Structure 1
């Protein structure tokens, strides 16, 4: 660990900051030494189907922040022509995380960005990702928030893959 100014930060071998602090189920940092939820490795490089299945399981368990980390891992190693889609999926998960945390302003911003990115593809979406369903789901969440309603937890579990494409 190196000290920069007054802040202790975990660094990798190249000097980039790495946050090793434990986090709660909503991704908020806990005090050092606390027990948090299991962290998602930063260097994920999984096949798309595995990333989607893991992210879906996390969403279904209410762990949208962790799902975001899985989807971000996929975004960082996917083919260039899929990058906006995976980035949008990660942003949708972060938008849900903001809803869970009670940050409706952040939720709206991230859901809007996510919808914009996942809706940019031409033709059928890869890996059976349910782009129309995800856009409709995010639009419904945003409408609820704009009406002053907090979506209940069961509404924060979008289906990433269209039912007919699930294995």
Structure 2
């Protein structure tokens, strides 16, 4: 793709059409990538949670983040902080899986703080307290690994996203 032809949607907005890997990293044009879901999908809370859990379990937290972002943008104003917090947890896991310890820990903590404002148990059966505990514990581990990596002259060891996937609701598996 040359510099004059940029990826645009039907309304002329810039959209990056490059393929992406399972953690959302851009790949070269023409490379096989992971199918991305459409943006701006309006789902019920149940559909959002089911799809996001499926993506988290598959080790694709970047894609789960996009599902949460759709809910954040289209859902009721009273739930925006909840969906934003869940999106931040997913993108924090994405960064941790990419080996970005600082960004991963920061976003996991930011997401936990956003969820702290939700009542427990959370709306739609979301295990708010368990998610906050998961995020804080993972942030501590990721940050510690980043410090160890830096002390040894190397990068942080990435976590395996599918192995670290949180349970959004008890009974989801």
* TM-score, scaled to structure 2: 0.84
Distance in 1 (CA, whole Å) between partners of 2:103 and 2:16 is 22
Residue equivalent to 1:162 = 170
After the TM superposition, which residues 37-56 of structure 1 pair with which residues of structure 2 at under 5 Å, given as runs? 37-56=34-53
- The one of 118, 129, 134 equivalent to 1:132 is 129
Rounded to whole Å, the distance in 2 between the matches of 1:26 and 1:7 is: 28
Taking the aligned partners of 1:109 and 1:93, their CA distance within structure 2 comes to: 12
Residue 18 of structure 1: aligned partner = 15
Unaligned 5+ runs, structure 1:
none
**Structure-1 separation of matches of 2:102 and 2:58:** 24
Count of aligned pairs between the two proteins: 162
Give the gaps of 5 or more residues in structure 2. Answer: 147-156
Inter-partner Cα distance in structure 2 for 1:73 and 1:145: 27
Residues 1:59 and 2:56 aligned together: yes
TM-score, normalising length: structure 1: 0.87
RMSD: 2.2
- Matches of 2:123 and 2:12 in 1, distance apart? 36
Instruction: Within 5 Å, give how 1:110-129 maps onto structure 2.
Output: 110-122=107-119, 124-129=121-126
Work out whether residues 119 and 128 of structure 2, in 8 Å CA contact, stay in contact via their aligned partners in 1.
no
Shift of the alpha carbon at 1:109?
A: 1.4
Equivalent runs, 1:77-156 vs 2, <5 Å: 77-122=74-119, 124-148=121-145, 152-153=159-160, 155-156=163-164
Q: Distance in 1 between matches of 2:18 and 2:42?
A: 22
Cα deviation 1:83-141 (Å, max 9, x = unaligned): 01101101100000011100001101111111111111246421111100100000110
Q: CA–CA distance in 2 between the matches of 1:118 and 1:40? A: 25
Alignment partners' CA distance in 2, 1:151 and 1:13: 37
Moved more, 13-22 or 73-82: 13-22
